[in-house]
Amino acid sequence: MSAPIFLPPPGPLGVCSPASPLGTEEQREAFRRGLLGLDARGYEVVLSPSHDVRQKNSFLAGDDQTRLGDLRGLFANPAVTGVMASRGGYGAMRLLEDLDFSTLPAGKPLVGYSDLTALHLARLKATGVGGWHAPMVTQLGRMARQFRADALKTLAGRGARIWCFPSADCGLREGRATGPLVGGNLTMLAALSGTAFFPDLEGAILMLEDVGEAAYRLDRLFQILRLSGRLEGIGGVVLGGFERCEPRGAVLDSVRDFVGRLPGVPAARRAPFGHGSVNKPWWYGETAELAVPGDAAPVLSFLER
């Protein structure tokens, strides 16, 4: 279990691109607005040398060694208190074999989600050190001002320590579970489930979200994760909104089928994290309690202080 390390301004906060580049004008504009949002909250931002590298005809923000060097450099910088990704996309898992997580300072958290799930899971497995599943710079730039302020308040240690779900129908199975939070992007969990970088989920509350997947592909990911055997002994399941996953009815059917094959595990859906307009931060390894009463809205309470 891992207590959260908060990042109050002024930071400094390091920013790099461990996965995909800022390849479009829209992404670059969102990145610019995200930096302005960090500045408005009082953060000092330290940009890595190659944060904006775009390889011709490539989906990566520079070659593996360039991205790895930027990440290592920010973690080695004694002035930097935390490292936030510019965006996700794809590419973080390509760094896992060459990244010695034991050399990264334990008191310096990584901030990101989506493709950054790979780095969070591997670091947690290797060292037991958590990190923030939280908006990256480009998502901060797209968020409504209030949602951005709320997310940054949580990262700074001044946010609410409880999530109240929208309604009672967010409950998928009644029950109560207490355990460490682990999970993130479903695609990345399925991809890493057959590797040595996947952490132990015994007693964990499994957090899952994804974006832009057809219902049958989403179902395939659920089945890969379930059939891997990695879910034996999990304590609970919390699912995000699965933004732009269609058709919605088939997605909900797959979600219910997935939970139905995890007998006795309390579960809730429509949690406010992931690729939607709201992405509330949570800390990998933090102890939390999931309460799904059945006749009222589920509640997720964060227990570490």
In sequence order, which residues have a C-beta less than 8 Å from that of residue 169 and are 6 or more positions away? none
User: Considering 114, 213, 254, 286, which one is annotated as catalytic?
Assistant: 114
Q: What angle do CA 57, 61, 64 make, to 5 degrees?
A: 100
* Longest CA pairwise span in the chain (Å): 55
Query: What is the CA 223 to chain-centroid distance, rounded?
Result: 21
In sequence order, which residues have a C-beta less than 8 Å from that of residue 190 and are 6 or more positions away? 221, 224, 225, 228
Amino acid making up residue 33: R
Per-residue H/E/C for 255-302: HHHHHHCCCCCCEECCCCCCCCCCCCCEECCCEEEEEECCCCCCEEEE
Identify whether the C-beta of residue 288 lies closer than 8 Å to the C-beta of residue 299: no
What whole-number distance in Å separates Cα of residue 279 and Cα of residue 255?
20
Q: Which residue has the tokens 């910088």?
A: 77
Amino acid making up residue 76: A
User: Considering 51, 120, 133, 275, which one is annotated as catalytic?
Assistant: 275
User: Considering 209, 213, 254, 286, which one is annotated as catalytic?
Assistant: 209
What whole-number distance in Å separates Cα of residue 189 and Cα of residue 295?
31
- Concerning whether 232 is annotated as a catalytic residue, the answer is no
- Concerning whether 301 is annotated as a catalytic residue, the answer is no
What whole-number distance in Å separates Cα of residue 50 and Cα of residue 65?
11
What whole-number distance in Å separates Cα of residue 123 and Cα of residue 118?
9
Please identify every residue annotated as catalytic. Answer: 114, 209, 275
